[in-house]
A = this chain, B = another copy of it.
Amino acid sequence: MPIVAFRIDPWASEDLKDYEKLFSYFGMRPFDEVVTQLKSFGELPLPIRRGAVVGHRDFEMVLDCLKSGSRFTILTGLMPSGKMHFGHKMLIDQVIYYQGLGAEIFLAIADVEAYGVRKLSREDVINYALNEYVANYLALGLNAKGLHIYFQSNYRKEYYRLIQLFARKVTMAELTAIYGEDLEPAKIVSVLTQAADILHPELPHFGGFKTVLVPVGLDQDPHLRLTRDIADRFSNELGLTRPAATYHKFLCGLTGGKMSSSKPESFIALTDPIDESVRKLMASLTGGRATAEEQRRLGGEPDKCPVFELNSLHLVKDDAHLRRIHEECRNGSMLCGECKLATAERLRKFLEDHQERLKTSIETAKTLVETPDF
């Protein structure tokens, strides 16, 4: 057990390479233990099939819903603070998958956090939310029908009431233990707001009780832990229950390290011009060796390669095809240049199709949600 604190900063989006600590220190469970049962409900989406979803909490509740036909809902938040890239796509691919299994989707636009914590202007926040995130979500296949989508700053009073009530049963001591000492009022408000995002679909005012599942990146676990505690504290008063959660790894950045919105060369955005995207791909780090000769001899390292990861999690749906790419890399028969050219073709095709769909989905996005007027 740890003596010193192992603290995750959900605002810094650290690369959680040692995420196994989340299992031993914080009670997260490996997703492996539930994935077999999930398979029986149909084809898994790439992030799950290719192992990017590594952890969960109480996913058994979702399996129970699937077995019994009980209602369940996905709550997902989007942070409209920049362009939407392939790292973000991993999340929405899961959401679309659960929607296909019958889940209702609640989509929270985290404009309060984008404005208050990340200090963006109100205009930029609305623009990113609709033209980047929501439009891309739709173009990727999210069904607009029955979608519950809202700006945190423009929602219903029962949702705001939850924030107010939650404040009573949360202490500064626990917030600083979870998030660190430098908690400003905007972060406190944002954290309580996220708890309301996650738990409000359980209220009768929002369509009646349903099991909530929150698929997130590993770095968001602090919010989930707090929210699950809050749910316990309001189980009698409001009938709330703990949400389930799944956790995915971060996508590798093209320049090494994490794919990060603040480093444009590290990611390919879904709205990037296609030639620009291909250029970034061709300049990407790979799992290749120092020389062609060495690579032919030793083979490449696909499991450390951002290009292979892009194929695995986004561009190559066929398992046999992906296995072949992996094998040809490992045995040195396909070098990085050749692989990148083939990947570039897949990327080009994907983005062409996607950006064609985007033309109409940008218009649809505007009609789905009322934007705050200040």
Interface status of A152 (Cβ within 8 A of chain B): yes
Query: For A116, what are the chain B residues with a Cβ–Cβ distance below 8 Å?
Result: 164-165, 167-168
Residues of B within 8 A of A339 (CB): none
A157 within 8 A of partner (CB): yes
A192 to B163, CA, bound (A): 13
Verify B172–A164 contact, CB threshold 8 A.
no
* In the bound complex, CA of A190 to CA of B165 (Å): 11
Provide the main secondary structure of the chain A interface: helix
Binds B, one of A59-67, A178-186, A349-357: A178-186
* Interface assignment of A311: CB less than 8 Å from any CB of chain B: no
Q: Is A19 an interface residue (CB 8 A)?
A: no
Interface string of A171-205 (1 = CB under 8 A from B): 11001000000011110111011000000000100
Q: Number of A residues whose C-beta is below 8 Å from B?
A: 35
Chain B residues near A163: list those with CB within 8 A: 189
Q: Is A119 an interface residue (CB 8 A)?
A: yes
Q: Is A255 close to B, CB under 8 A?
A: no
Q: Could you say how many copies of this chain the assembly holds?
A: 2
Residues of B near A183 (CB, < 8 A) are 172
Contacts of A203 in B (CB 8 A): 374
Asked if B193 and A185 make an inter-chain contact with CB atoms under 8 angstroms apart, the answer reads no
Q: Is the CB of B160 within 8 A of A172?
A: no
Q: Is the CB of A161 within 8 A of B372?
A: yes
The chain B residue with its CB closest to the CB of A203 is B374
Is residue A133 within 8 Å, beta carbon to beta carbon, of the partner chain? no
Residue A238 at the B interface, CB < 8 A?
Answer: yes
Q: Among A152, A155, A167, find the residue whose CB has the most chain B CB atoms closer than 10 A.
A: A167
A115 contacts chain B at the CB level, 8 A cutoff: yes
Task: For chain A, residues 227 to 246, give those with C-beta under 8 angstroms from any C-beta of chain B.
Answer: 238
B161–A186 CB distance below 8 A: no
Q: What is the CB-to-nearest-CB distance from A157 to chain B, in angstroms, rounded to a whole number?
A: 6
A110 nearest CB across to chain B (Å)? 11
Question: Is A189 a contact of B192 with CB atoms below 8 Å?
Answer: yes
Complex interface: chain B residues within 8 A of A155 (CB): 157
CB distance from A109 to the nearest CB of B (A): 13
Assess whether A156 is interfacial by the CB under 8 Å rule.
Answer: yes
Set B153, B164, B238: member contacting A161, Cβ < 8 A: B153
Given A116-B168, A153-B165, A167-B185; 7 other pairs, CB 8 A cutoff: A160-B160, A161-B372, A164-B193, A167-B188, A170-B186, A185-B188, A188-B189
Taking beta carbons and an 8 Å cutoff, which residues of A are in contact with B? 112, 115-116, 119, 152-158, 160-161, 163-165, 167-168, 170-172, 175, 183-186, 188-190, 192-193, 203, 238, 372, 374
Which 10 residue pairs across A and B have the least CB separation, nearest first? Answer: A116-B168, A167-B189, A160-B160, A167-B186, A153-B161, A167-B185, A112-B164, A170-B185, A168-B186, A116-B167
